[in-house]
Amino acid sequence: MNPKNVNLSGLEVVPAAEVAPPLLDALYDEVFLHRSPFLKKHWRWYYRSAFFDQQIPLVLRGKDRAIGASGMIPVKVKMGSEIKTASWYIDFAVTEDFQRKGLGTILTKKWMSFADMQITFCNERSIGVFLKLGWTESFQTYLHVNILKPFSIPQLASKLPGMVSGFMDLIALPFVKFTYRRFAAPGSDWDVQALNEQNLTKFVKAYQAGKTEAENTCEVLRDADFINWRLLQSPDRASYRIFHIPGIQAVFAEKSNNGKYLDILWISDLSDPKLVKRLIASLSLYGLKNGATYLRFYTSSRDLSAFCKKDIPGKVRNVRFAYFSKNEALYAKMKTVNWNWQLIDSDFENYEVV
């Protein structure tokens, strides 16, 4: 179709629940090709549609075709003593023949009407729309990728024959083990269990016991509703584990991206950097023992990031973060808070960034 001849009349922004399933499936196939099978089956869970009474996610619909998608993950956030609603903006896409028509802005404005705060981790292409609408961007974000098999990471796995990468990883293995063993707990102190309601309850109690009130911090309220939705109802629940060493524990996921990797979704207590690093190093050794190529974790703390990065093989990505609120007083406060995110709080788990 010639973009100059596209007919924009009759377009409307509607909840995905009001779109005929064949039209929604066709849209996901077109704009989210690789993730389409998952979204077609699990979109109500993924976008947490029940949070806003099935009014989300949003779809831009024409007479006989869906041509745009605006996904979100709504959450409650705690900012000091206040509880606010916030929406993570995700999966923003318009079909190729309708791009550069201002439709992305229409979708974004509608999406911004749902919550007190709007937040997103976005790419360079999306940020242009947000900045035009008055958003603020920040790169004080720290996505760590700890390398376990340096020659088998996805960037190299596609370029090296399997025998070559395997041989090179074998040569590197003593150095990698030595590096992580310097900081890790002994293997006899490790406890790894498949996540279930019982051990998750114990984990949450440990998390709550270690929490301290911070007036100038903004973080997701990981209450019973959030935990039930995010972990217990997750289609990926079978991949979740709880890893425990004395004094600290974490919920993590065993995932696949041209080989196994680990995502640390939620660390119970971030107050002691040495203990956090000990946990991450121990879990890295666990991953190495179980065939993982790399391990990821996220922190919003520059100091914690710097401490955990020191003497550890890997890299840190400063992923673009953007935020906004129509409430001027709230927006001003957002510009001064210390954000406190972990992987569990957004949709990082579904993006295989290395």
Is pLDDT above 90 for 139? yes
Q: How far apart are CA 72 and CA 46, in angstroms?
A: 9
Gap between the Cα atoms of 297 and 2, Å rounded: 44
Tell me what pLDDT residue 4 has. 45
The mean per-residue pLDDT over the stretch 284-289 comes to: 96
Average pLDDT for 254-277: 93
Helices 36-46, 21-31: inter-axial angle, 10-degree rounding: 120
Q: How far is CA 174 from CA 86, 167, 169, 180, in A?
A: 45, 13, 9, 10
| Contact indicator for 117, 76 with CB cutoff of 8 Å | no
Share above pLDDT 90 across residues of the chain, in percent, rounded to a whole number = 71
Nearest alpha carbon to residue 144 among 11, 286, 314, 288: 314
- Rounded to an integer, the average pLDDT of 214-230 is 94
* 333-354 confidence digits (pLDDT tens): 999 999 999 999 998 776 656 5
Mean pLDDT computed over 92-106: 82
Nearest C-alpha neighbor of 282 from the set 183, 169, 175, 174: 183
Q: Where are the beta strands (DSSP E) in the chain?
A: 12-15, 58-61, 66-79, 82-94, 117-121, 136-138, 142-147, 191-194, 217-220, 240-245, 248-256, 260-267, 292-299, 314-317, 321-324, 338-339
Round the average pLDDT of the chain to a whole number and report it.
90
The per-residue pLDDT for 181 is 96
Q: Show the domains of the chain with their CATH numbers.
A: 3-115 (3.40.630.30), 142-319+334-350 (3.40.630)
Mean pLDDT of 155-162: 66
Q: What is the largest CA-CA distance in the chain?
A: 68
Pick the residue with more confidence: 207 or 126?
Answer: 207
Among 47-61, 161-175, 206-220, 240-254, which is the least confidently predicted range? 161-175
Q: How many CB atoms lie within 10 A of CB 350?
A: 14
pTM of the model: 0.91
What does the alpha-carbon distance between residue 271 and residue 269 come to, in Å, rounded to a whole number? 6
Q: List all residues 6 or more positions away from 148 whose beta carbon is below 8 Å from its beta carbon.
A: 176, 284, 287, 288, 292, 293, 294, 295
The pLDDT value recorded for residue 325 is: 97
Confidence of residue 119 (pLDDT cuts 50, 70, 90): very high
User: Range with the lowest mean pLDDT among 37-51, 212-226, 278-292, 294-308?
Assistant: 212-226
* pLDDT classification of 7: cutoffs 50, 70, 90: low
Q: How far apart are CA 57 and CA 42, in angstroms?
A: 12
Each residue of 39-86: pLDDT tens digit? 999 999 999 999 999 999 999 998 889 989 999 999 999 998 899 999
Burial class (CB in 10 A: 0-12, 13-18, 19+), 43: buried
pLDDT classification of 1: cutoffs 50, 70, 90 = very low
Tell me: pLDDT of 142 over 70. Answer: yes
Q: How far apart are CA 77 and CA 143, in angstroms?
A: 21
Output Rg (C-alpha) for the chain, integer angstroms.
Answer: 21
Strand partners, 77: 84, 220
Distance separating alpha carbons of residues 294 and 278, to the nearest angstrom:
17
Pair of tokens at residue 232:
């217990």
